[in-house]
Structure 1
Amino acid sequence: MCGKKDEVIGLSIYYGPNQYKILNNIHLEEGDDTTEKMIPLGWGIFGWINRFAIIPIFNWLGGFISNYGLLILLMTIIIKIALFPLTYKSYKSSAKMRVLKPQIDEINKKIPKDKAMERQQATMALYRKAGVNPMGGCLPMLIQFPFLIAMYRFFPASIELRQKAFLWTDDLSSYDSILDLPFNIPMYGDHISLFTLLMAVSIVLSTKINGAQMQTGSSQMPGMKMMMWMMPVMMLLWFNNYSSGLSYYYFLSNIITIGQTLLIRQFVDDEAVLQKLNENKKKPKKKSKFQERLEQAAKQRQQIATKKINRKPLEAAFFVFMIRNYQGNLNKNVPINLSFAIRPKDLESFKSLRLSFARNT
């Protein structure tokens, strides 16, 4: 064309499903992994969990299981078994906090509510003597959280679930409607998904079962309790139009967690835990860096609160004094009410100013 030789361009076209196992083996260039990134498995640690943990387990089970509902069940069991040490550690930490609740209640009775910092310091001192980390139950749960987010990205991206039926659902990649509503509910939809409903119920059951052990005895946060009960409602609204396979997985995960909790309770004796903590109190304890940071933060908050109290203006008494009408009405007195806000350190200066004003008038 136009006196130039035709240029030959190499072009490769893939026409097939967005299946990670296939795209992972297709490379447009050496060392290129663009094709596998076409599947939205999540960024950062969530994508790593999917690529190196969830997908290998899923593909391995898929090699000899054709029923994807059963496959998801077995995959959930494998994941929960792998995470069981974290669940056990979280329960043990919650048990330690629970058996200390009566002692914390005594601290709250002795120290009034207006001395919140003193309460907190006394509570932290009790934890330190007993060898209890108040954040010990949260860390294992936080470590499990990325797996929940990874699953949130994995199921919608799994083309293997497309048109796969299980129980009452015809497609595990879509929602499982058991009842179509004649109207649309904002944020919910015009249908009822049974797996999503079961998931919400399982969250409520898990909350009720674990509610007692989460009572630490310190000042309970009403906002946290409300959030615990709002979570099932939020999940119900959010996942009603989502993949039924995902809701099914979350439902199974909650049921297995409840079973693990009930099983652990049979082997963890609260009296033995309390006895161990009492023995720890007799041993000399060095403050951990975490406890030192907590106490330092508490002292800083107390200092800030003290400064605010010192700066808080005192409401001075109302004064009623007489000033003369400057327009010549010397016989007419006008009463004026004035409100003064005086800091404690300025009180003496204010008294001197009032005395000087009285003399001049």
Structure 2
Amino acid sequence: MTKINKWVKTVGFLPLFLAALALVGIIAADHSYTGYVAGSGIWGSFVAFFIRSILGVSSWFSSSYGLGIVVFTVLVRFFILPLMVYQIDSMKKMQVLQPQLKVLQEKYAGRDTETRTLLAQEQQALYKEHGVSPFASMLPLLVQMPVLIALYQGIHNSPVLRSGSFLWLNLGNQDPYFVLPVLAALFTFGSSWLSTQANPQQNTMTKILPFIFPFIIFFTSLAVPAAVSLYWVVGNLFQMIQTFFLQNPFKLKQEREEARAKEKAKARKMRKAKRSKKR
């Protein structure tokens, strides 16, 4: 019970409230669709539930499947928002410990078994002291992935969803003007760049990744139906906005600079105090 209370406190009321509303909306959408969608097995039934829910949302907008995909994607993103908040909080805590972890790695730089064991013990002690789990950021990702994959498969595999039109798009064909692939790539870059800038500990790989992912998304979007590209655009836009509010790199940079300024001011006072004692 204590762990649940701690998790709720970390996530906060608003994300949990939005997730609850989104869940109600998803279930309501599923029940509002009166047709039949086939699905065999646990995974097939899970994907069928997503398809029915998207079709249900579409029925709220006069069977506009494009709007159905947009609204349902937003509902799913709000539903997994608490997991994202918890994941980002865990990542921030790990970033704070990075300098201390680096010191330990330099202290136990040997490759032998004994040195590696000592390093692992020291790291575990550090994690325990600060109440941080190195795997906490991975758990939300593992929970999110089946949801996002089911959403993708539901859109990709439903002939009904891909039979509609939205704006200039035929949802079953590729975007003829490449607008969606470009937007999907731009929003992916924005989200990745913001997340990278929020991390004070950067290496060559973390600097390159924000430029690699957009290219992958762009060229993949060129080969899939517009319905899937639309899902990526909406999802990546939501991710970018979410990253800005939860990992605002400009705010974090200012906070780090203020903390360094306080440390320098404290060090100056200590030096002045020492000089005064010597006199």
The alignment's TM-score, normalised by the length of structure 1, stands at 0.52
Q: Deviations over 1:2-31 (max 9, x none)?
A: xxxxxxxxxxxxxxxxxx96445xxxxxxx
Specify which structure has the higher proportion of strand.
1
Q: Deviations over 1:18-67 (max 9, x none)?
A: xx96445xxxxxxxxxxx24xxx9x743x333223x23422322222033
2:154 matches 1:151: no
Match of 1:203 in 2: 188
Shift of 1:262: 2.4
**What SS class does the counterpart of residue 176 from structure 1 fall into?**
coil
Match of 2:246 in 1: 264
Does the 8 Å CA contact 2:55/2:65 hold for their aligned counterparts?
Answer: no
Tell me: CA distance 1:238–1:258, structure 2 relative to 1, closer, same or farther (3 Å): closer
Shift of 1:256: 0.9
2:86 matches 1:89: yes
Amino acid at match of 1:233: F
Amino acid at match of 2:151: M
Shift of 1:234: 2.8
Does the 8 Å CA contact 1:196/1:244 hold for their aligned counterparts?
Answer: no
Does the 8 Å CA contact 1:162/1:172 hold for their aligned counterparts?
Answer: yes
How far apart, in 2, do the equivalents of 1:221 and 1:79 lie? 33
Equivalent residues, number: 217
Amino acid at match of 2:242: Q
Amino acid at match of 1:58: I
How far apart, in 2, do the equivalents of 1:131 and 1:227 lie? 29
The alignment's TM-score, normalised by the length of structure 2, stands at 0.65
Q: Deviations over 1:178-200 (max 9, x none)?
A: 1xxxxxxxxxxxxxx32123212
Shift of 1:204: 1.7
2:172 matches 1:173: yes
How far apart, in 1, do the equivalents of 2:242 and 2:51 lie? 25
Amino acid at match of 1:241: A
**What SS class does the counterpart of residue 175 from structure 1 fall into?**
coil
Match of 1:321 in 2: none
**What SS class does the counterpart of residue 135 from structure 2 fall into?**
coil
Tell me: CA distance 1:114–1:162, structure 2 relative to 1, closer, same or farther (3 Å): closer
Q: Deviations over 1:69-119 (max 9, x none)?
A: 322221122111111111111111111112222322333444447577254
**Cα RMSD for the two superposed structures:** 3.3
**What SS class does the counterpart of residue 160 from structure 2 fall into?**
helix
Match of 1:194 in 2: 179
Match of 1:129 in 2: 129
Tell me: CA distance 1:135–1:48, structure 2 relative to 1, closer, same or farther (3 Å): farther
Amino acid at match of 1:231: F
Shift of 1:226: 5.8
Tell me: CA distance 1:173–1:214, structure 2 relative to 1, closer, same or farther (3 Å): farther
Tell me: CA distance 1:113–1:250, structure 2 relative to 1, closer, same or farther (3 Å): farther
Does the 8 Å CA contact 2:162/2:172 hold for their aligned counterparts?
Answer: yes
Shift of 1:163: 4.7
Amino acid at match of 1:177: P
Q: Deviations over 1:131-168 (max 9, x none)?
A: 11101111101211112211222122223334533233
Matches within 5 A, 1:90-109: 90-109=87-106
Specify which structure has the higher proportion of helix.
2
Tell me: CA distance 1:124–1:213, structure 2 relative to 1, closer, same or farther (3 Å): farther
Question: Any stretches of 5+ residues in structure 1 without a counterpart?
Answer: 1-19, 25-35, 179-192, 275-361
How far apart, in 2, do the equivalents of 1:223 and 1:150 lie? 30
Does the 8 Å CA contact 1:199/1:251 hold for their aligned counterparts?
Answer: yes
Does the 8 Å CA contact 1:165/1:172 hold for their aligned counterparts?
Answer: yes
Does the 8 Å CA contact 2:173/2:225 hold for their aligned counterparts?
Answer: yes
Larger Rg: 1
Tell me: CA distance 1:123–1:225, structure 2 relative to 1, closer, same or farther (3 Å): farther
